[in-house]
Amino acid sequence: MSGTDLLLPIPGDPITAVATPVGVGALAVVRISGNGAHQIADRVFQKANGEAQALASSPGFLAHFGRLYDGEEMIDEVIALVFRGPHSFTAEDMVEFTCHGGPVVVKHVLQLLLDNGCRLAEPGEFTRRAFLNGRIDLLQAEAIGEMIHARSESAWRTAVTQMKGDLSKKLNALRERLLHSCALLELELDFSEEEVEFQSREELTRQVDDLRREVGRLVDSYQHGRLLSEGVATVIAGRPNAGKSTLLNTLLGQERAIVSHMPGTTRDYIEECFIHDKTMFRLTDTAGLREAGEEIEHEGIRRSRMKMAEADLMLYLFDAGTERLDEEIADIRAVRAAHPEVRFLVVANKVDLLSSSDEVMQKVSSEAGAEVIGISARDGRGVEALLQRMSELVKDLDKLHEASVLVTSLRHYEALRNAADALENARELIDHHADTELIAFELRSALDYVGEITGKVVNEEILNTIFAKFCIGK
């Protein structure tokens, strides 16, 4: 189903919501959108000079100073900003009231609008209407949500790029080329009795190969894009009592994990994010690696190994003063061998308790074949050097070129993977001189998968999943 054939209802009933965070502030914004939004606003708004019916006849993008009234009772002094559809965020008539930011004031303003014909907006409903009314495509709608929730500069820059429509343009160009190939194959099917070939199989092969390469590049960009939006998955691994939870707290700058001298305190992984040198690290403190004594600890260790397998960067922490150094070295070797693709850094902890830690670190580096940095997670010694090295190790992962178009969403990645599979199937069918109908089916499938990303092909379930993640008021 194409965007022009979209069968989803486009509600025009007036909705309202608070568009600013809940809490005490200098100002708050309450917005209205939909049929009759201006008339509803006029029922409760009066200009400061006493003029009535100001908003329904107002040009768009014009602000009015006045007061809100519930009957004869004044609610607040506000600024009313008028938008006229289709030149608004939702492409509908809109009004935004900027009122004082106290929660009681905001509650009264919102209730006033509800009493005068609005209903409370659902999560993401303003953005959903912008999509359904053709103001933005689905990818841009998701980018708005990603920009709001961006926790690093890289994530923000990536979201802005997508909101501008750079990825949409590339996908739409891909879709146009697929449409062209599909149309020619459909013509062949219409004239099948005459055995007319509107496009040579050699030319079709070249086009399919070009499309496979372009889709493949977008699929490959997901690993990079995921890191920018979600952060570098950084796992702290090691034996119990190595100081993993203390290191987590030190890097975060807060007491996030319980620290105890009792082995096995961490039964499950703890995950938090922090930013260093503009790079976001998604830090995971895992359960200590050892033979578990009981079921709960065993499950914690299983989950730890699962997170280790998903890591982009692993910090293997060990107690520099351990009496079982050879066993630690064997463990380091085993862990590194099990995860050869992961960036790996050995961290010698508790160096503050040793008169000299250089010999220990050199032994580990030589026999385990790994880079070692000495720290004291307790007093912070060496932690800044550790952070610097972490940033250097992932520098290539977190580097965003301005010209880059990246895939950051799992939904987009899966759709592109499906499109790539369909194009691969089409290529094989062409090689085996298959019927035109079979080739056309695979190209139509690829067309639909690409269309799912921008909303050219969409269903209610996809929309509900996307916009449920938005806050009310956006």
Q: Does domain 3-136 have CATH number 3.30.1360.120?
A: yes
Taking a C-beta distance cutoff of 8 angstroms, is the pair 248, 234 a contact? no
Rounded-to-5 percentages of helix, strand, coil across the chain? 45, 20, 35
- CATH H-level superfamily of 147-225+405-454: tRNA modification GTPase MnmE domain 2 (1.20.120.430)
Q: Any idea which residue has 């082995």 for tokens?
A: 263
Domain ranges of the chain: 3-136, 147-225+405-454, 233-393
pLDDT, one tens digit per residue, over 34-50 is 999 999 999 999 998 77
Tokens of 117: 């014909």
Q: Any idea which residue has 């293997």 for tokens?
A: 316
CATH no. of 233-393: 3.40.50.300
Mean pLDDT in residue range 157-169 = 87
Q: pLDDT band at 196, cuts 50/70/90?
A: low
pLDDT, one tens digit per residue, over 384-408 is 999 999 988 888 765 544 446 788 8
pLDDT of 6 strictly over 50: no
CA distance 141 to 158: 14
SS3 365: helix
Looking at residue 228, its pLDDT comes to 73
Looking at residue 8, its pLDDT comes to 47
Question: DSSP assignment, residue 231?
Answer: -
Q: Mean pLDDT highest for which of 154-168, 207-221, 231-245?
A: 207-221
pLDDT of 306 strictly over 70: yes
Task: Answer whether the bond into residue 59 is a cis peptide, omega within 30°.
Answer: no
Positive or negative: CA dihedral 336, 339, 340, 344? negative
pTM over 0.75: no
Q: pLDDT band at 316, cuts 50/70/90?
A: very high
- Comparing CA positions, the residue from 413, 426, 414, 437 lying closest to residue 207 is 426
What are the phi and psi torsion angles at 61 (to 5°)?
A: 60, 35
Q: Any idea which residue has 């809109």 for tokens?
A: 94
Q: pLDDT band at 159, cuts 50/70/90?
A: confident
Residues constituting the chain: 474
